[in-house]
Chains A and B, each alone.
Chain A
Amino acid sequence: MTRAMRRPLVAATGAVLLAATTAACGGGSGGDTEGDGTLSVWIMQGTNPDAEGFFDDVSAAFEEETGATLDVEFVEWGDAHNRFVTSIAGGTTPDVAETGTTWTPEFADAGALAPLDEYVDAAGIGDDLVEGLVEAGTYDEQLYGMPWYAGVRSLVYNTEMFEQAGVEPPTTWAELEDAAAGLKEEYPDKIAVAVPGDAEFTVYPWVWGAGGEVATLDGDTWTSGLDSPESQDGIGFWTGLATEGGYSSTGATTWRETDVLDAFAAGDVGMAVMGSWTPGAIVDANPDMEGKFAAVPIPGKDGGIAPSVLGGSHLSMFETAEDKDLAFTFIEMMTTGEFAQQWGEQSGYFPGQVSLLDETLESTDPLVAPFAQQFVEGGASVPVAPTYGAVQAKLTTSTMMQSILSGDADVAEASKAAAEEMTGVLNGSE
């Protein structure tokens, strides 16, 4: 062994030191500041199975119109919020991004988004936008999220099971209960109606349908209405189907919407509250189910349609975007006209532009028309507040449902606790 062997060691140490120092001294700007003529965009993964092809078309059209290139990045929903936060912290935010409707007020409040009113007015499209989405995207009286697409949840049911059991799709709560009983008799081993414990948006239609409110704003203060007599009535009805009627299952106590879909696709569920985007996923999961299910709007207590949450996305512009005009050109291209319609068709969602909706409403497809009806006549929004995200993070509504469904608390106790918590969190005092 010679000095030649000692050298590598010293060299290694030196190299590491050198590399580290060089890296640390690296100057220049970091981040996503695009050079001239490129627009960076983040889109959520999975909404549109045909997304790549779609964006190829959009890029071509965009480049033709503006001469600028489009840089589209697909982000997983589950990690998206973290990505947004770290990118804001690190200054690597895109120019335009798809933001879930509950995120837009949150980011707007933080000052990360640029207001769009000017651009919308200039383009003259203000009146043609879906109300529910505009509401969800407005913060402090300014519009930050451009309505892009939305879906709505209605009552999806297994037509085969219904036929066999001789029941009709319900139009009132009493009918729903009867249908469930009929299904249970015919299929004792299946779930007549799925009552999931961890699916927030499947609860609110029953609250609203009974005349209750999730939360109301009075001046600057929010008050949750989950424990009002009407709300309790609704929650009681919905959970009663499981706890008293036994029409659901013990497993469903901890189910999320994905679990409901899984079970429905497997043919184990008679009816469930599911989104307008699920038919495609159901058939994907189980091709045998094709043609064996349909939808009806969620019935109100004595008839009519119970309001259901309009869940969807906005396209938002970040304050860090260098060329805001360019950014809005892209936003307009995506949310109105031909591309908006194409996206809606490919993804199974409804576009955010009213004039485009008219066509969809004419559809006779049993898996589109009921949802469309719910969308237009029974579309509602959760409280639009930057703090609503916190309520969702704490799973306030799910906690309430789970404690009722597992028998740990009755409707009165659980709803009171939930209302208190929600009021506290919405007002930022938690």
Chain B
Amino acid sequence: MRPWLLLTPALLVLAVLLLWPLVRVFLFSLQDYGLREITTGEPNWIGTANYAEILTSPELWTVVLPNTVGFAVLSVVGTVAFGTGVAVLLASLGTFWRTVTSSAIMAAWAMPAVTGTYVWIWIFDADRGVFNDVLMGTGLLDEPTNWFTDRWSFYAIVLLNVIHHGFPFVAVTVLAGLLGVPKEMLEAAEMDGAGSFRRFFSIIVPQLRQVFAVVIILSTIWDFKVFAQVYLMPGGAGSNRSVLNLGVWSYVESFGQNRYGFGSAIAVLLTLLLLAITAIYVRTVLAEEER
């Protein structure tokens, strides 16, 4: 009885606020749900037609998914690697510098994502941005380049933006994990002659498996759903078809065109996709459950 008593408040909030809306999203996905349906409240069932349209869309497979998956892989790897590196650095610093540095990191985390995006846009602005100014000043560039028109440079900027905003979470989490590794294990390894790299990869990393699992799952979910950081960039709202990612594409194709059923179908598919991708890590976490 007791577990259910403790669970009920949370489950109630979730059920009322999220469960029913989730069911409705699923129901919308099976309809051609546009403004007219919203106004009249009458359903318009078309079965799995939305799903078929999504899965047979050439744009999805040639541009959108590759961009989304490729970017997610790079940003998760980048954020986790960089964040871990920072954590290691932080762990080896004295109190004063650690406080200074971690406060700086917090500032990067606290800055609103929208603001950060615009700052990066300015930095790389073709005509007036600092980046071009410096490059031209040092003679590496003859004329101003618009970094947003080419797919690779576009996403390099988005990557910079997302990693900058996301590494603090990783750094702080991993740092805390590092501080929990038993000193004795490391001492023993060093006495056996293991260098720092070897110590890191053979002792520390395995101890932090759960930490990394959590961090990777969350980062994957977030980086897959990146929207504002792409949408707000010049050309990112749809006029540059080569940089479309899942978030922007789904927005333009569905909500931008009043096709809410279509948008709901994309949401369902994305959820399933994320579930599939994070399955390995989820199993790691849940396996520990059965102790």
Contact A399 B238 (CB under 8 A): yes
**Chain B residues whose CB sits within 8 angstroms of the CB of A283 once the complex forms:** none
- The B-contacting residues of A in range 222-266, CB under 8 angstroms, are 249-251, 253-255, 263
**Chain B residues whose CB sits within 8 angstroms of the CB of A268 once the complex forms:** 127
**Chain A residues whose CB sits within 8 angstroms of the CB of B143 once the complex forms:** 250
**Chain A residues whose CB sits within 8 angstroms of the CB of B146 once the complex forms:** 250-251, 253-254, 406
Give complex CA distance A403, B146 in Å: 13
Give complex CA distance A390, B9 in Å: 43
Give A263 Cβ to nearest chain B Cβ, in Å: 8
Indicate if A394 sits at the interface (CB-CB under 8 A): yes
Contact B12 A20 (CB under 8 A): yes
Give complex CA distance A109, B18 in Å: 31
Contact A250 B239 (CB under 8 A): no
Indicate if B48 sits at the interface (CB-CB under 8 A): no
Most-contacted residue by chain B among A24, A85, A106, A425 (CB, 10 A): A85
Contact B38 A85 (CB under 8 A): yes
Q: CB-CB contacts of B181-211 with A at 8 A, as 1s and 0s?
A: 0000000000000000000000000000000
Q: CB-CB contacts of A369-393 with B at 8 A, as 1s and 0s?
A: 0000000000000000000011001
Contact B240 A399 (CB under 8 A): yes
Q: CB-CB contacts of A393-404 with B at 8 A, as 1s and 0s?
A: 111001101110
Give B124 Cβ to nearest chain A Cβ, in Å: 10
Indicate if B271 sits at the interface (CB-CB under 8 A): no
Indicate if B177 sits at the interface (CB-CB under 8 A): no
Listed stretches B75-83, B93-101, B250-258, B277-285; interface member: B250-258
Q: CB-CB contacts of A110-128 with B at 8 A, as 1s and 0s?
A: 1110000000000000000
Give B250 Cβ to nearest chain A Cβ, in Å: 12
**Chain B residues whose CB sits within 8 angstroms of the CB of A390 once the complex forms:** 256-258
Contacting residue for A399 out of B34, B36, B150, B239, CB 8 A: B239
Give complex CA distance A273, B239 in Å: 19
Given contacts A24-B16, A254-B234, A389-B257, contact A13 B9 (CB under 8 A): yes
Contact B240 A402 (CB under 8 A): yes
Contacting residue for B34 out of A110, A249, A254, CB 8 A: A110
Number of interface residues of B (CB under 8 A): 36
Give complex CA distance A397, B149 in Å: 16
Contact A394 B39 (CB under 8 A): no
Contact B238 A394 (CB under 8 A): yes
**Chain B residues whose CB sits within 8 angstroms of the CB of A60 once the complex forms:** none
**Chain B residues whose CB sits within 8 angstroms of the CB of A198 once the complex forms:** 234-235, 237, 239
Indicate if B126 sits at the interface (CB-CB under 8 A): yes
Give complex CA distance A254, B149 in Å: 8
**Chain B residues whose CB sits within 8 angstroms of the CB of A17 once the complex forms:** 8-9, 12
Nearest neighbor of A399 in chain B, beta-carbon distance: B239
Indicate if A80 sits at the interface (CB-CB under 8 A): no
Nearest neighbor of A251 in chain B, beta-carbon distance: B126
Indicate if B104 sits at the interface (CB-CB under 8 A): no
Give A391 Cβ to nearest chain B Cβ, in Å: 9
Give complex CA distance A347, B139 in Å: 47
Give complex CA distance A16, B143 in Å: 63
Given contacts A249-B126, A390-B256, contact A395 B149 (CB under 8 A): no
Given contacts A13-B9, A250-B143, contact A393 B36 (CB under 8 A): no
Q: CB-CB contacts of A255-295 with B at 8 A, as 1s and 0s?
A: 10000000100001000000000000000000000000000
Give complex CA distance A112, B16 in Å: 29
Contact B38 A88 (CB under 8 A): yes
Indicate if A197 sits at the interface (CB-CB under 8 A): yes
Contact B125 A251 (CB under 8 A): yes
20 A-B pairs besides A249-B127, A254-B148, A402-B149 with CB distance below 8 A are: A16-B12, A17-B9, A20-B9, A20-B12, A88-B38, A109-B35, A198-B237, A251-B144, A251-B146, A253-B126, A254-B239, A255-B234, A263-B127, A390-B258, A394-B252, A399-B238, A399-B239, A399-B240, A406-B146, A406-B149
Report 12 cross-chain contacts, Cβ distance below 8 Å, ordered by A residue: A20-B9, A110-B36, A110-B38, A111-B39, A197-B235, A249-B127, A250-B127, A254-B234, A255-B234, A263-B127, A399-B239, A399-B241
**Chain A interface (Cβ < 8 Å from any Cβ of B):** 13, 16-17, 20, 24, 85, 88-89, 106-107, 109-112, 197-198, 249-251, 253-255, 263, 268, 389-390, 393-395, 398-399, 401-403, 406, 408, 425
Q: Which 8 A-B pairs have the closest CB atoms?
A: A393-B256, A254-B234, A251-B126, A110-B35, A398-B239, A390-B257, A251-B127, A406-B149
